[in-house]
Amino acid sequence: MRQTREILRQKWVLACSHRQVAASLWVNFGTVAAVLRRAAHAGLDWAQVQQLCDDAIEARLYGAPATPSPPAPRAAEPLQPGGPRCTRRVSACESEAGVSRRFGHVA
């Protein structure tokens, strides 16, 4: 879970620097800056953040979570005449003997 509320609390209530917040929460400096930028863009202040639940804060800053759409069904591809070719490498022993011991056929 993101630590958005705690980042905002330390910045706005405790007046900590970006680096202090990042060090205390073990997050990147850029994460602190990004959360504050998103909060300013959303027009949030500490009074509003206190009244919102964590999910509502996340929705205001990051948008509603996307619901994945089911994958489209794929049509079966027809087999090509002659079928697929085997492209396995032949070892030196097999090429000298002309026989594949592993598959029991002549190379």
Q: pLDDT per residue over 5-52, tens digit each?
A: 999 999 999 999 999 999 999 999 999 999 999 999 999 999 999 999
At residue 35, the pLDDT reads 96
Q: How far apart are CA 4 and CA 96, in angstroms?
A: 68
Q: How many helices (H) and strands (E) does the chain have?
A: 6, 2
- Report if residue 99 sits inside a domain: no
Q: What does pTM read for this prediction? A: 0.60
Q: 């030196």: which residue's tokens?
A: 92
Tell whether 87 is covered by a domain: no
pLDDT at 70: 75
The pLDDT assigned to 11 comes to: 96
36 in a structural domain = yes
At residue 78, the pLDDT reads 64
Domain-located, residue 14: yes
pLDDT of residue 16: 96
pLDDT tens readout for residues 60-84: 999 876 677 677 777 766 666 665 5
Domain range for 34: 4-62
Angle (CA) 30 47 8, round 5°: 15
* Tally of domains in the chain: 1
Q: Using alpha carbons only, give the angle 50, 55, 61 rounded to the nearest 5 degrees.
A: 80
CB-based contact 25:6 (threshold 8 Å): yes
